[in-house]
Amino acid sequence: MDWVIQTHDLRKVYQMGEVEVEALRGVSFNIQRGEVVAIMGPSGSGKSTLMNTLGCLDRPSAGEYVLDGETVANLNDDQLADVRNRKVGFVFQSFNLLSRQTAITNVELPLRYSSNSKYAGNAKGRRARAIEALKAVGLENRMTHRPAELSGGQQQRVAIARAIVNDPAIIMADEPTGNLDSKVGKEIMKLLLDLNKESGTTLIIITHDPTIAEQTQRVIRLRDGLLESGS
């Protein structure tokens, strides 16, 4: 099997003042390359913590995590940043675009931090790749617009273009349709699924919307920091 994500007994403990809170209490699951997976669970189930861990934004307190062949559980901050840059594309509920920058500059941003010699110090190469990504999400006519001049759906498309620009191993989408009306939400879901089909990039969607979960191949359910189903 070609696993893109392998976790074993992931645990995360937060120190909240005097009290220790266990957000993850031993989670183990694998995700195949190219798979579309939804992670669901009520608030407080450890959903966000799991997403942060899988997205390499945070380190687990204990356990194993192998992302695209790299053991990431014990990397330092800068190494984690590099892994995020190369292997993870984020799509956020609130888009998180830089409001002063144009769509194309926003899409270019991950390439600016890239250690890949293809993009480092090569402004033309970055621009060309960003244009490709914007074309892939159907925004080639909006490249020089700023976020304020774009609709919510268009903003999320820019964010998706930014997520795929560096050819990541996984795309982490955190409630990608949460701030959109249902019609636009459907379009965005379709775009994400199409991109998955075309490029084979693993798609992980964190959501509490069952209609979205229905469109995925597998649903991983969390409750109280433990896997309920979907392993």
Which residues lie closer than 8 Å to 15 by C-beta, 6 or more apart? 21
Cβ nearer to other proteins, comparing 21 with 81 = 81
Cβ nearer to other proteins, comparing 55 with 225 = 55
Q: Min. distance of Cβ 22 from other proteins in angstroms?
A: 17
Cβ nearer to other proteins, comparing 142 with 162 = 162
Cβ nearer to other proteins, comparing 112 with 197 = 112
Residue 62: both structure tokens together: 């204990």
Residue 89: both structure tokens together: 């594309």
Q: Min. distance of Cβ 67 from other proteins in angstroms?
A: 14
Residue 46: closest CA among 32, 61, 66, 31: 61
Q: Min. distance of Cβ 81 from other proteins in angstroms?
A: 5
Q: Min. distance of Cβ 1 from other proteins in angstroms?
A: 28
Q: Helices in the chain by DSSP H: which ranges?
A: 47-54, 77-87, 103-112, 123-136, 152-164, 182-199, 210-214
Q: Angle 123-136/103-112 helices, nearest 10 degrees?
A: 120
* C-alpha span between 66 and 54 (Å, rounded): 9
Which residues lie closer than 8 Å to 216 by C-beta, 6 or more apart? 36, 37, 38, 203, 205
Q: Min. distance of Cβ 90 from other proteins in angstroms?
A: 5
Q: Min. distance of Cβ 230 from other proteins in angstroms?
A: 24
Q: Which residues bind other proteins (CB under 8 A)?
A: 52, 55, 57-58, 77-78, 81-82, 84-86, 90, 92, 96, 98, 100-101, 109-110, 112-114, 120-121, 162, 166
Cβ nearer to other proteins, comparing 122 with 215 = 122
Cβ nearer to other proteins, comparing 38 with 111 = 111
- Contact 53/10 with Cβ under 8 angstroms? yes
Residue 128: closest CA among 108, 112, 109, 146: 108
